[in-house]
């Protein structure tokens, strides 16, 4: 597809174009989603006050054209699914922010794999700090259609984590991806888990029961795999309170599996937004002790993601073009001394990994996790597994282990 002629206009001319109704018909020719169009128009409407923001949005629209999508029809369907789920979730979260918070919308940031030659992604980050500690809704599609030497044809995914500010509201993690290989085979990864700082059985039962209805044939297996994957043996506990996890999943019928993934994704999103809204309304007065429990839980979440989560590690080992985005799920602060106390519980060489992680953090009891910290942690994790490649076998797994890294080689 060739870029439309308006992309060759000057920045000033493009801005004037953005402010006309004609823009909607033009963007239709390049298949921008209505969601992205609304984001652009919202930014353009505030041009007089936020010119820099608007020009940034114009550049984003231009850069969208550079991402080359996968050629496979199944990959196209999977990518439509994950971007639809992203739109659904971000729209609902923005509505929650408007109703209960400061009304600040999630902000989009794009990244490109090999300057878009092999795809890329977009993540929406929370900006309403009155409601969210950290929150990110990420989608991506990476493809190697031009590289016959690689086993991987494409991978299309949504991965999201929401950490509310209120410690009485649970965090959630959702991941849905379709991986397609050059030999024509493919498999799904479907995950949805509720991760509270302070457990609430009503939330647990609501989330679990809805997912059981969404995938009745897969639920028993998914719950068992999730409990296995998210168990932190060094600490003798799970990361969350209810887990749905399917790895390397394929029934042999792509359309049936696509429908299941869609239903699970929509159900997890809708149920979580109901739980979050209810928690904000009914649990509006957390105590200092509650915030302390949240800090300690966020430390546990940080520990699990960086030392056990196979998806995070694989992403960092495959490339270094989206390090901050891959670690977007990390909470804003952790308890450094608590994290350090877990070193003695770890086997070698993972105890060395934790020591190096601690060196990336500020020497403060309550240590912030900003973008520069995430970049340092990404480099730390990557170097550790390059030095100790066998240590990746010490990470979490369900019933099977996906060959994610090898697929990209």
Q: For position 157, which CATH number holds? A: 3.40.1500.10
Are the C-beta atoms of residues 128 and 104 closer than 8 Å to each other? yes
Same domain, 151 and 265: yes
Q: Which domain range does residue 105 map to? A: 73-286
Kindly list the distances between the CA atom of residue 207 and the CA atoms of 57, 202, 273, in Å, as whole numbers in the listed order.
36, 9, 11
pLDDT in tens, 100-112: 999 999 999 999 9
Q: What is the pTM of this model?
A: 0.84
**Model pLDDT, residue 325:** 92
**Model pLDDT, residue 397:** 85
Are the C-beta atoms of residues 172 and 162 closer than 8 Å to each other? yes
Domain limit, last residue, from 238, 265, 286: 286
**Model pLDDT, residue 403:** 62
Same domain, 44 and 149: no
List the structure tokens of 55: 């020009």
Domain limit, last residue, from 226, 256, 286: 286
**In a domain? residue 232:** yes
Residue ranges, the chain, pLDDT below 50: 1-32, 43, 46-51, 54-55, 57-58, 61-65, 408-409
Rounded-to-integer distance, Cα 56 and Cα 63, Å: 10
**In a domain? residue 385:** no
Same domain, 34 and 181: no
**In a domain? residue 128:** yes
Same domain, 154 and 269: yes
**Model pLDDT, residue 66:** 80
Rounded-to-integer distance, Cα 4 and Cα 9, Å: 10
How many domains does the chain fold into?
A: 2
Rounded-to-integer distance, Cα 81 and Cα 176, Å: 9
Closest-CA residue to 62 (of 100, 119, 5, 113): 5
**In a domain? residue 308:** no
Backbone angles phi, psi at 176, to 5 degrees: -135, 125
Same domain, 130 and 46: no
Same domain, 54 and 196: no
């Amino acid at each position: 597809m060739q870029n439309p002629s308006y992309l060759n206009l000057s920045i000033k001319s493009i801005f004037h174009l953005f402010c006309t109704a004609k823009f909607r018909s033009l963007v239709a020719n390049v298949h921008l989603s209505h969601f992205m169009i609304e984001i652009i128009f919202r930014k353009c409407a505030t041009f007089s006050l936020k010119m820099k923001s608007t020009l940034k949005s114009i550049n984003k629209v231009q850069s969208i054209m550079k991402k080359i999508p996968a050629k496979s029809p199944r990959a196209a369907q999977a990518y439509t699914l994950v971007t639809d789920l992203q739109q659904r979730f971000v729209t609902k979260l923005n509505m929650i922010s408007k109703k209960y918070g400061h009304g600040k919308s999630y902000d989009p940031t794009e990244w490109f794999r090999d300057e878009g030659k092999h795809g890329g992604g977009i993540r929406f980050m929370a900006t309403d700090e009155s409601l969210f500690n950290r929150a990110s809704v990420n989608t991506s599609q990476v493809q190697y259609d031009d590289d016959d030497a690689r086993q991987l044809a494409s991978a299309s995914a949504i991965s999201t984590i929401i950490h509310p500010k209120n410690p009485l509201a649970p965090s959630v993690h959702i991941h849905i991806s379709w991986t397609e290989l050059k030999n024509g085979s493919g498999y799904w990864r479907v995950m949805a888990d509720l991760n509270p700082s302070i457990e609430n059985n009503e939330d647990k039962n609501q989330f679990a029961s809805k997912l059981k209805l969404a995938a009745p044939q897969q639920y028993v297996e998914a719950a068992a795999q999730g409990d296995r994957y998210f168990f932190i043996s060094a600490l003798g506990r799970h990361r969350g309170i209810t887990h749905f996890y399917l790895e390397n999943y394929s029934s042999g019928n792509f359309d049936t599996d696509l429908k299941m993934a869609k239903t699970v994704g929509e159900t997890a999103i809708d149920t979580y937004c109901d739980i979050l809204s209810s928690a904000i309304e009914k649990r509006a007065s957390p105590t200092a002790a509650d915030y302390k429990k949240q800090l300690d839980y966020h430390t546990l979440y940080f520990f699990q993601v960086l030392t056990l989560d196979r998806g995070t590690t694989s992403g960092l080992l495959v490339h270094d073009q989206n390090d901050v985005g891959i670690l977007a799920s990390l909470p804003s602060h952790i308890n450094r001394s608590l994290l350090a106390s877990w070193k003695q519980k770890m086997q070698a060489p993972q105890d060395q990994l934790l020591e190096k992680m601690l060196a990336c953090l500020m020497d403060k009891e309550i240590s912030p996790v900003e973008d520069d910290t995430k970049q340092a942690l990404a480099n730390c994790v990557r170097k550790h597994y390059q030095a100790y490649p066998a240590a990746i076998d010490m990470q979490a797994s369900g019933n099977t282990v996906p060959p994610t890294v090898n697929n990209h080689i």
